Amino acid sequence: MAATHRDVKANGVRLRVAMSGEGPPVVLLHGLFMDKRTWDAAGTLLSKDFHVVAPDFPGFGDSEKPPIERFSYDVAAFAEVVADLYAGLDLGRAAVVGHGLGGAVAITLAARHPELVSRLVLVDALCFDEKLDLRRRVALLPVVGGFVLKQLWNRATFRAVFRSTTSRGRSGLSLEQVDRYYDSFNGPSSRGSALATLRATVDTRNVAALTARIAAPTLVVWGRADRLLPAGLGQRLSRQIRGAGFELMDTGHAPHEERPDEFAGIVSRFLRSERPA
């Protein structure tokens, strides 16, 4: 994404934010083990018509990685950081697009700060409890889990985690894309932040309960072959949010990376459409 980058303090945490384009503002929120670069391709396309804002969450990418004593790394804490980022950038109201963990943050933001969210796009969003794979279950174990994620998750393990969430065949993230995320993850403070986030976001019942409070026009976009959060969860989410639309794409867990042109077209049409009756 041809973007300018700024450091912005939000709730006392330094965030690195990429911004590009002019027009109505759109905030893009990334998923767990990713960062703002996940939006590079789709964000570039959206920036032709919108002012695109893509922050790194605390603990990820180029943002500050505070210890857990300063930041709790749960969904509510991320949502409050994003709300404060609005003020720091003088955004006013903006559309919000959230993927995975970013989807849970977007739901929370829209429910708790409806004055900030004009429209909502939820992409393979973390919302309902789902069975964890073996690697994630091990990472969540007390003491042992911290050692495993901080010391034993090497590049091959990281690739395997991503491979287990995407579809087989030509769809899915390339090794180059996954390795970029590993290089960002592969540091003591980054691993600590990822572990804290993983542990703090296992229970999603609070997020699911907030869906009833969403008033913004909403579109749910899901990958048909998502093996981390199956497409049935997306259909369930779209039924739970009043008036929400649903789009199923032939991708895995990251439609915006796997098919950015198609994804940007779907989002752009929704953001420009009339509000549903």
Count CB neighbours of 70 within 10 A.
Answer: 10
Mean local confidence (pLDDT), 72-96 = 96
For residue 56, give both structure tokens: 């790194």
Residue position matching structure tokens 């395997």? 160
Please work out, in degrees rounded to the nearest 5, the angle formed at the alpha carbon of residue 200 by the alpha carbons of 196 and 202.
Answer: 120
- Give pLDDT, residue 147: 67
pLDDT of 151 reads 75
Contact 51, 25 (CB under 8 A): yes
pLDDT attached to residue 152: 73
Average pLDDT over residues 240-245: 96
Spatial separation of the C-alpha atoms in residues 138 and 149, rounded to whole Å: 9
Is it the case that residue 170 has pLDDT exceeding 70? no
In this prediction, residue 277 carries a pLDDT of 36
User: What's the pLDDT tens digit per position in 171-197?
Assistant: 567 888 899 999 999 999 999 999 899
Residue 29 vs residues 95, 157, 247: alpha-carbon distances, Å: 11, 25, 19
| Tokens 């098919």 belong to residue | 259
The Cα 41–Cα 258 span in angstroms is: 10
How much is the pTM? 0.93
Average pLDDT over residues 95-101: 97
Top pLDDT among 145 and 107 is at 107
The amino acid present at 187, given as its one-letter code, is: G
Q: What's the confidence (pLDDT) of residue 276?
A: 46
pLDDT 10s digits, 41-60? 999 999 999 999 999 999 99
> 164, 158 in Cβ contact below 8 A?
no
The token duo for 274 is: 């009339």
**Nearest C-alpha neighbor of 263 from the set 161, 198, 171:** 171
